[in-house]
Amino acid sequence: MKNWEKNVRLVTPYTPGEQPKKRDIIKLNTNENPYSPAPGVQKVLKEFETDRLRLYPDPASSELVDAIASEYGVRSSQVFAGVGSDDVLAMAFMTFFNSKKPILFPDITYSFYDVWAEVFRIPYETVPLDEDFQICTKDYQRENGGVIFPNPNAPTGVLMPLEQVEEIIQANQDVVVIVDEAYIDFGGVSALPLIEKYENLLVVQTFSKSRSMAGMRIGYAFGSEKLIAYLNDVKYSFNSYTMDQLTLAMGKASVEDREYFKQTTDKIIRTREWTKEELKKLGFLFEDSKSNFVFVTHPKVSAKQLFENLKKENVYVRYFAKPERISNYLRITIGTDEEMQKLISLLKKYC
Amino acid sequence: MKNWEKNVRLVTPYTPGEQPKKRDIIKLNTNENPYSPAPGVQKVLKEFETDRLRLYPDPASSELVDAIASEYGVRSSQVFAGVGSDDVLAMAFMTFFNSKKPILFPDITYSFYDVWAEVFRIPYETVPLDEDFQICTKDYQRENGGVIFPNPNAPTGVLMPLEQVEEIIQANQDVVVIVDEAYIDFGGVSALPLIEKYENLLVVQTFSKSRSMAGMRIGYAFGSEKLIAYLNDVKYSFNSYTMDQLTLAMGKASVEDREYFKQTTDKIIRTREWTKEELKKLGFLFEDSKSNFVFVTHPKVSAKQLFENLKKENVYVRYFAKPERISNYLRITIGTDEEMQKLISLLKKYC
C-alpha cells in the first residue's frame, strides 16, 4: 500500500440489483414500476427548450418542492428533494446521525443502511425482526443515536400499522427518527401527518416505485421546518445543484397527475393480490406484502435454484444469499398481469 | 436546543451565485456558457423513449464514462462521473482527505473547498496567493494531508503552466492531489496526461462551462485505475444511481461533438480577448484570464457600486464581499459579443 492510500476511506459498497442490458426480459428484480411515467412527463420531455440547459438549475429545486408540498398538503419549507431516496437518506444519515450512541435499525431491512453507517462512521446496532418478520416496537425503546426503518419493510414487504410507527417515534423524541416509505403507496398508511406532532421525524419517499421514474432519480422527504433546514444546510455544503432542470420539470408533471398515479398504483395492487393467490396455490409461504413486491419461500424448492431457473428463461427476480435467515427467499417485483402470468406458469413447472 | 438537535451536523453552507428567475437579463454571474448545448443533445431529448424512465439507470454510468474515455484517449476505468463537478469533488474530499494533517489550498480560490473541509471535518490550511494572484509552487512543498487547487484558478482566472502543476504533484506523492479544471477548456493545458505518471493525481472537469450543460449536472474526473476504483467504492456507498438516464444519454451526445465544442469555446476565447481590450481602455486592472470569465478591479470606481449599478440595468455579474483582499473585484462571465458590448457600454457610463 502506497502512502497516499493510507488516507483513503475504505468501504464495502452496496450492491444494487442487476441491471441487465438486454431488452427482451421480464425484469422483476429491482422493484421498478411496469407502467410508463405519467403522460405529462413525456410532454415536458418533448417540449423542453434545450437552450435553457446552459443555465444552472434552481438550487432550491422550488418547482418540484412546491409541487410536492401542494400535492401532499404541507408547506414547501417542510419538503426536501434529492437524487433518489438514496441521496436523501445519505444526506439524512450525514446530517442527523452524529451521536456516539449506536443508531438502530432492523436486522432484515434495506441493505444500504449499514453501508451508510459505515461510510459515515456511525455506530449502529441491528434489531432482529420477530419470527414472522415483524418489527417489535418495544425493541426500539432503549438508548440510541437515532432510528431508521422502512415501512413497509424491505425486502419483506411487511407493513407496520401507523399506531406502531407512532409508538416508536414517541419513545424516541431525543433523536431523529427516519421512516423510509419507498413502498408506502401500494396500500400503506403514511406517517406524514405525524410531522406536525414530532419535530424530529423525517418521512422519506421516492418517485422510483409508485411514480415509475427510477430512471430520473427523484427522492424527497417531509419533516418539520427545522429538520428540513438542517438537511438543506448539509445538502448545500455538499452540492448546491443536485437536481437537474429536466428532472425538476418532469418530477413536477408527475406529481401533478393524481389520477394516473392512482390508476397505476391500484393496478399494481390488484396484480399483487392475484399473484399472492397463485403463489399460495403453488405452496409458497410469505408474510402479507403491502408493497410492489412479494417476498416468498417454498418449503420444497430452493430459492437459489428457482432464481437460476427463472433467469435461464429471461425472468429476473432478486435473490439475496445473505443474511442466512433470508437465504431461501426470493423477492419478486409485481409487474404487469401478463408478466406475472408468465412467472406463475414457469413456477408451476418448477414446484 | 432540543436533545435531538445535539447530534445534528451544523455547517455554514456554500452560497451559490444568484439564479434570478426573470428572463430578460444579461446573466454574467455564474460562468455559464452563452451558447446552446451541442445539437446532438437536443436530438436525444426529442427522441428519448419516456417509457424507459421507469427503469433504473446503469449504476456504472457506462454510456457516458465510455464516451468520455474515448474522447480523451484514456481507459474507462480511469474515468469517474458525477452530478456536476461539485458532486465529484465532494466524493473526492470524502474518499481521499482522511488524514489528521491539514489539506492545503489557496486562500483565494473556489469558495466551496473550505465548506467541504468543514462538512467532512477535514483539517485544512489556506496558502496565500502572491501579490499578482499567482500560486507559488514552493508553498505546497511541506507536510500535508492532501492538496487541491483549480487551474485556471477561480475567481482569478489565472492559469498555471503545466510544469508548475507538475512541480506541486511531484512534491506531494504521499497524498492525493486534485487539480480542479472546471475552466481548462478556455485556453489552458490540462494535467490529464500526468495521470499516467502519478497514481495519486485526480483531474476534475465539468460539462457546466465549456459544454453548456450546467442545467444537466455532469462532472467527471480522470485518475489512475486505483484512484478511480476507490472513488467509485465511496460513490456506491452513498448513492448507487447518481446519474439519471437522460443525463447519461445527453452527456454522451455532447462529448461526441468535438467540432461544436471547439467552435463555441473558440468563440468565447475571442470574445474574452476583445472584452479584455475594452476593459483595459476603461482603466480596469486584472491578471490575464484563461477562463470564461475575467476578474477585474477599477482604481477609481468601487466594485460594489458597479455591481449594483449593473444589476439595476439587468446585467448580473458576481461580487464577492469576502475575503477583504478581493472585496473590490468583480467576476464577469464572458457572454455573447452582443452581451459584452452592452456591458462595456454601461461600464463606460460608470467609469
- With CB atoms and an 8 Å threshold, state whether B56 touches A16: yes
Nearest to A37 among B46, B53, B226 (CB): B53
Task: Return the pLDDT at B13.
Answer: 86
In sequence order, which residues have a C-beta less than 8 Å from that of residue A263 and are 6 or more positions away? none
- For residue A158, give Cα distances in angstroms to A33, A149, A150, B110, B142: 19, 12, 9, 48, 57
pLDDT reading at A24 higher than 90: no
Residue B299 in 3-state DSSP? coil
Task: State residue B239 phi and psi, 5-degree precision.
Answer: -160, 115
Q: Find cell 477583504 and name the residue.
A: B324
Q: Give the nearest partner residue to A4 out of B46, B175, B234, using CB atoms.
A: B175
Q: What is the pLDDT of residue A19?
A: 80
Which residues of chain B neighbour A33 with C-beta distances below 8 Å? 54
Q: Where are the alpha helices (DSSP H) in chain B?
A: 39-47, 62-72, 84-96, 113-119, 162-170, 225-236, 245-256, 258-281, 303-312, 337-350
Q: Which element (helix H / strand E) includes A66?
A: helix A62-72
Contact flag A56-B119 (C-beta cutoff 8 Å): no
Hey, what's the cell of B309?
A: 449599478
Write out pLDDT tens, residues A268-325: 999 999 999 999 999 999 999 999 999 999 999 999 999 999 999 999 999 998 888 9
Quick check: ipTM above 0.85? Answer: yes
- Give the whole-angstrom CA distance, residue A175 versus residue A169: 9
Distance of alpha carbon B342 from alpha carbon B12, whole angstroms: 36
d(CA A290, CA A184) in angstroms, rounded, equals 8
Query: Do B182 and B205 form a contact (C-beta atoms < 8 A)?
Result: yes
Asked if pLDDT for residue A21 goes beyond 80, the answer is no
Kindly report the average pLDDT of chain A as a whole number: 96
User: Length of chain A, please?
Assistant: 351
pLDDT in single tens digits along all 351 residues of chain B: 999 999 999 998 888 877 887 778 999 999 999 999 999 999 999 999 999 999 999 999 999 999 999 999 999 999 999 999 999 999 999 999 999 999 999 999 999 999 999 999 999 999 999 999 999 999 999 999 999 999 999 999 999 999 999 999 999 999 999 999 999 999 999 999 999 999 999 999 999 999 999 999 999 999 999 999 999 999 999 999 999 999 999 999 999 999 999 999 999 999 999 999 999 999 999 999 999 999 999 999 999 999 999 999 999 999 998 889 999 999 999 999 999 999 999 999 998
**pLDDT given for residue B23 in this prediction:** 78
Render pLDDT for A142-158 as a digit per residue (tens, 0 to 9). Answer: 999 999 999 999 999 99
- Choose the mutation target among A1, A2, A4, A228 for the interface with B, i.e. most B CBs under 10 Å: A4
For residues A186 and A91, what is the distance between their CA atoms, to the nearest angstrom? 26
| Under 8 Å between Cβ of A334 and A30 | no
Closest CA in chain A for residue B145: A7
Closest CA to B141 of B109, B112, B113, B177: B177
The pLDDT value recorded for residue A256 is 98
Kindly state the average pLDDT of the residues A29-44: 97
Task: For residues A315 and A216, give the distance between their C-alpha atoms in angstroms, rounded to a whole number.
Answer: 24
Q: Residue A218 gets which letter from DSSP?
A: -
Name chain A contacts of B213, Cβ cutoff 8 Å.
53-54
Task: Give Cα separations from B228 to A54, A102, B201 (angstroms).
Answer: 28, 31, 10
pLDDT, position A20: 83
When scoring A201, A239, A246, A318 by the number of chain B Cβ atoms within 10 A, the one with the most, hence best to mutate, is A239
DSSP label of A18: P
CA distance B71 to chain A (A): 21
pLDDT the model gives residue B277 = 98
**A244:B244 CB<8 A:** yes
Contact B3 A59 (CB under 8 A): no
Using alpha carbons only, what angle is made at residue B112 by residues B108 and B118, rounded to the nearest 5 degrees? 105
- Report the pLDDT averaged over residues A108-135: 96
What b/e readout covers A23-58, taking b as 16+ CB neighbours within 10 angstroms? Answer: eeebbbbbbbbbbbbbebbbebbeebebeebbbbbb
- The dihedral region occupied by B43, where left means phi > 0, alpha psi between -120 and 50, and beta the remainder, is alpha
Read off the pLDDT of each residue in A188-215 and give the average, rounded to a whole number.
Answer: 98
DSSP secondary structure code for residue B76 in this structure: G
Q: Which pLDDT band, with edges at 50, 70 and 90, does A23 fall under?
A: confident
Q: Show residues of chain B in contact with A32, CB under 8 Å.
A: 54-56
**Cα angle vertex A81, ends B148, A92, to 5°?**
65
Q: What is the pLDDT averaged over residues A201-228?
A: 98
Q: How far apart are CA B284 and CA B42, in angstroms?
A: 39
Show the domains of chain A with their CATH numbers.
18-37+259-350 (3.90.1150.10), 39-256 (3.40.640.10)
Q: Do A199 and B245 touch (CB under 8 A)?
A: no
Handedness of CA A127, A131, A136, A141 (dihedral sign): negative
Residue A319 bridge partners (DSSP): A330
CB contact under 8 A, A86 and B243: no
Question: How would you class B16 by CB atoms within 10 Å of its CB: exposed for 0-12, middle for 13-18, buried for 19 or more?
Answer: middle
